[in-house]
Structure formats: structure tokens, C-alpha cells
Amino acid sequence: MDLQSEVALVTGAGRGIGLATAEKLGASGAAVVLADQDLATAEAGALAIEGAGGRALAVQMDVRLAGDWTYVVETAVKRYGPLTALVNNAGFDRPGGVAKVSQEDFEAVLSVHLTACLLGMRAALPAFERAGYGAVVNVSSVYAKIGGHGEAAYSAAKAGMVGLTKSAAREFARHGVRVNCVLPGLTDTPAIRGMMSDKVRDKLLAETPLRRMATPGEIANVIAFLCSGEASFVTGAAWEVSGGWNM
């Protein structure tokens, strides 16, 4: 993939899937803005990309804040020119079942995944219009389709992202902007290592035909493809990258 003329903004790019995506886009030639609430990790990622010969800039943001989006998109455009790709990836989980999850946790998870996705696409659209085209990839989850036991907020937020992706795909098409989402299965990232017991992980892997977790790079490869002109006729898609989980 040649992404030399692309300018990409990736949220949650300090680690995990976001970092792997920034690295893949950078290695393919794109100028990459790594946005994360943890600036130190985003800076380390940007340094690594530049060390490998790429172009990268780290910025601190909270994806839940509209003002941060305005600032980050402006910063990206000032540094590299009109944005052409946005990856809405940042997020966290607050486990809890339908009967037990607190309203505060439910709204926090909806906010960081679903509201942030809306704010990001809104903020990026004028920059895409200036470029004449653009691509958005929203990082959802297989849980969007199958739900998760004890994952009420997360499953609802991720399912909402699929609906929002499809609405945006319809609305943005006339601007030359494609909007897709990926639905990863279990992926070996700090988030999963930090919160999932071996027992739960092994149960989920037993339901996965490929019998292993994805590497962050395997998710990043699909995201980068959807950002690229190679995917020029793909919009409104919800692409499972799950090793066959939920076939």
C-alpha cells in the first residue's frame, strides 16, 4: 500500500491496536497524528515511527471532548495539510451486566466509544472536504453483534458504532468520504492482558476457529487497507477480524 499522500489521525494511538495502526499507516507512507489521553505513550509511538523513517506527531486529547477534536484536527491540518483518514479507536471498558451496571459506567462507556465517534467524524468532515476525499474507520467489536455476558455498556456502545458508521457512510458519500468499521475479536493488547482472566480468555478462544488471539498488527492491517485507495469501493461495511469467532 502506498499512502504517501495521506494524512491520518488515529485515536488511542499510544498502545494496543491504535499504536499498531499508527505504525502500519506510518510505514506505508502516511503522515500520522497519534492522539491519546496519555501523551507520553503517544510521543513514544511517534518517535518510533519517525525513527523508522516515517512522519508522525503526538497530541494529547480526550476523545469525549468536542473542543479537543477541534484542536487536534486543526493541529493535524496545520502540520501536514488536509486530513484524509480518521481512525476512531480510543476506548475503555467498564464491565457489568444489564441488571448491575451503574448508569455512570454505562454512560462513560457510551461516551468514549459512541459519542467520541460522532464528535470525531463531525470534526474531520470539513478537513476531508478540503482534501476532496477521506476515509473513516471506526473500531467496534464482535460484541456489537453477539453481545457479551457482563458487557452491557460495551456491547451497546460497539453496536451503536455500527449503526453510526452506516449512517455516516450514507451521508458522507457525496463528499467522497468512505466510512467503515472493523469488529475485532480477542486481540492481544494491554487492555485485554489487564482485565481478562485466563479462564475467560480460554473459553473465548475455544469458540474461535483459529484458536488464538489476534495480534494488534493483524487488526491494523485491515484498518490500513480500509483507509487506503485500495478499498475505494468499500463503504458502510462492518468487517469482522475475529479468527472466525461468530461465523
Is 89 one of the binding residues for ligand NAD (CB under 6 A)?
Answer: yes
Fill in the DSSP letter of residue 235: -
How wide is the angle at C-alpha 147 spanned by C-alphas 142 and 153, nearest 5°?
Answer: 105
Under a CB-based contact definition with an 8 Å cutoff, are residues 38 and 30 in contact?
no
Q: Which burial class, exposed, middle or buried, applies to 232 when counting CB atoms under 10 A from its CB (0-12, 13-18, 19+)?
A: exposed
Is 186 one of the binding residues for ligand NAD (CB under 6 A)?
Answer: yes
Q: Which of 7, 112, 177, 238 binds ligand NAD (CB under 6 A)?
A: 112
Is 45 one of the binding residues for ligand NAD (CB under 6 A)?
Answer: no
Structure-block grid coordinates of residue 217: 498488527
- Within 8 A by CB and 6+ apart from 114, the residues are 157, 160, 161, 164
Q: Which of 28, 115, 187, 208 binds ligand NAD (CB under 6 A)?
A: 187
Strand 31-36 relative to strand 134-139: parallel, antiparallel, unpaired?
unpaired
Binding to ligand NAD by CB under 6 A, coded x per residue (else -) over 127-146, reads: ------------x-x-----
Instruction: Indicate if 71 belongs to the active site.
Output: no
Is 117 one of the binding residues for ligand NAD (CB under 6 A)?
Answer: no
Q: Which of 91, 131 has the CB closer to ligand NAD?
A: 91
Q: Which of 82, 120, 160, 184 binds ligand NAD (CB under 6 A)?
A: 184
Is 240 one of the binding residues for ligand NAD (CB under 6 A)?
Answer: no
Q: How far is CA 54 from the centre of its chain?
A: 20
Is 243 one of the binding residues for ligand NAD (CB under 6 A)?
Answer: no
Q: Which of 50, 188 has the CB closer to ligand NAD?
A: 188
Q: State the CB neighbour count (10 A cutoff) for residue 43.
A: 18
Binding-site ranges for ligand NAD (CB under 6 A): 11-12, 14-18, 36-38, 41, 61-64, 89-92, 112, 139, 141, 184, 186-187, 189-192
Give the residue numbers annotated as catalytic, written as ranges: 154
